[in-house]
Structure 1
Amino acid sequence: MPRFHCPVPLAEGTELPLPATAARHVQVLRLQPGDEVTLFNGEGGEFTAEVLRMGRSDVSVKVLAHRGVEREASRQVHLAIGMPANERMDWLVEKATELGVASIQPLHTAHSVLRLSGERAARKQAHWQSIAAAACEQCGRNRVPLIHAVSDLPVWLVAPKSMPSFVLSLQDSAADPSPLAQRLEPPAFVCLVGPEGGLSAQEEAAALASGMLPLSLGSRVLRSETAGIAVVAAATLQAL
């Protein structure tokens, strides 16, 4: 059954127009009145609904029944990442969402190629949030991960963290980074991953000084987006 993110109040027995994005998807699929779809709004569970009317640019549905099903990992991973450039950030958001990431914090760092501010940053955040919603439609998640507004790493580091926090380390330091497998105990944690070129030595030192613990994915040097996906996959798939 086709699934659509519908970020509006949903209740059994109500009739409503679908938001523009969902309506466009229904029309692309050439669904007809009487066809059933699945709707979710991110507030828990999902709803079956029946297509009532197909207009030229709008679609109306009747909400039928709620199912209290959730497909979230039992471990929450909050990923903070120095934004990779071009389409790599889009890919990261999509795949991390499919794997179960709880939230993503895009960051400016010393080695970041992608720089965003003002309206452009807001548009990118909205774009990435829509990618996360589409990934939830595809993979079956009913809760869309939050894509935070772009921040500078020094600003983000001083913000309070309410859960264990780790920094993916590429530096040879006295504090030997622990393998990821030894750090998977917490039910929720934050992991900081650098951009192309990694975090600078000063940035990693600042992360450690803020209370973050060093973390290692092994001896190979991974691309930024690959490292982020590896952290999310290792933590959430183990917790299924």
Structure 2
Amino acid sequence: MRIPRIYTPQSLTEATLVDLDDSAANHVGKVLRMQAGRELILFNGQDSCHFNAVIEHSDKKRVTVQINNKVASSNESPLAIHVGQALSKGDKMELVIQKSVELGVTEITPLWTEHCDVKLNAERMEKKLKQWQGIIISACEQCGRDVLPVLNPVVKFQDWIGSVNADEKWVLDPRGHANQNTPATVNSAVIAIGPEGGLSQDEIEQACDNGFKSKLIGPRVLRTETAALTAVTLLQSQWGDF
């Protein structure tokens, strides 16, 4: 039986008895219905490690676990990838975030762009950010990552392109170049992906003025969510751990 991986933001120390935070306790006690004696893997998203643990007590209100040994993990990519994803309709944004985490990205920034057709007020945006953070946590629990990727607040495309730094910076463009000179070694990369309607020519030019390469990834026009995940895969294949 697969041992469930559970995220908890609290401090974790070997050979200690702790009560899980409300969210983790609810997931363990109510959703998974795990009882005393069951094994867990706990991580707090801050270090490249997790902890083996055993449930000491479990009910609908409280879950107490015995934390045993600390285990160092080594599945973080050597390539730091920052994805700037334009806000998209429906579940496209959720898909990009979830799969980007599985593919090993380290940072995600939602972007307001010229052709964004998503209308959210401040309250709804705050709810969206909490939802996306939950998706990141669930994806880390599922794929075995112990370090949570950073989710940044939503920012305007023009402000973002001038603030990010990396060894390699791509702006995805169906009119861009497929073959470009690339360095042999890259430690960090940033990719900018437009919404369903794509980035405007002015936005692409602004990105290039800020050191981005106008990048074509294949002969077919990809949907925004497909483009993001394809670009991450290419980066991981060339400089990461694929």
**TM-score, structure 1 length as denominator?**
0.91
Match of 2:69 in 1: 65
**Equivalent residues of 2:178, 2:218 under 8 A apart:** no
**Equivalent residues of 2:166, 2:190 under 8 A apart:** no
Measured after TM superposition, the shift of residue 182 of structure 1 is: 4.7
Between stretches 152-161 and 81-90, larger displacement belongs to 152-161
Match of 1:236 in 2: 236
Match of 1:32 in 2: 35
SS of the residue 2:148 aligns to: coil
Is 2:89 the partner of 1:79?
no
Give runs of aligned pairs for residues 182-197 of structure 1, distance below 5 A: 182=182, 185-197=185-197
Match of 1:167 in 2: 171
**Equivalent residues of 1:6, 1:19 under 8 A apart:** yes
Distance 1:225 1:157, change over 3 A: same
Q: What is the rounded CA distance, in whole Å, between the counterparts of 2:181 and 2:237 in structure 1? A: 12
Q: What is the rounded CA distance, in whole Å, between the counterparts of 1:58 and 1:228 in structure 2? A: 40
Aligned positions, number: 236
Amino acid of the structure 2 residue aligned with 1:29: L
Measured after TM superposition, the shift of residue 157 of structure 1 is: 2.1
Q: What is the rounded CA distance, in whole Å, between the counterparts of 1:191 and 1:184 in structure 2? A: 18
Please report the RMSD computed on the Cα atoms of aligned residues, expressed in angstroms: 1.9
Measured after TM superposition, the shift of residue 58 of structure 1 is: 2.1
**Equivalent residues of 1:184, 1:235 under 8 A apart:** no
Amino acid of the structure 2 residue aligned with 1:38: I
Q: What is the rounded CA distance, in whole Å, between the counterparts of 1:126 and 1:179 in structure 2? A: 39
Question: Which of the numbers 17, 20, 36 marks the counterpart of 2:19?
Answer: 17
Measured after TM superposition, the shift of residue 193 of structure 1 is: 0.8
Amino acid of the structure 2 residue aligned with 1:143: V
Q: What is the rounded CA distance, in whole Å, between the counterparts of 1:104 and 1:119 in structure 2? A: 20
- Please, which runs of 5 or more residues in structure 2 have no aligned partner? none
Match of 1:217 in 2: 217
SS of the residue 1:227 aligns to: helix
Identity across the alignment (%): 33
Q: What is the rounded CA distance, in whole Å, between the counterparts of 1:190 and 1:218 in structure 2? A: 19
Match of 2:149 in 1: 145
Amino acid of the structure 2 residue aligned with 1:63: I
**Equivalent residues of 2:96, 2:228 under 8 A apart:** yes
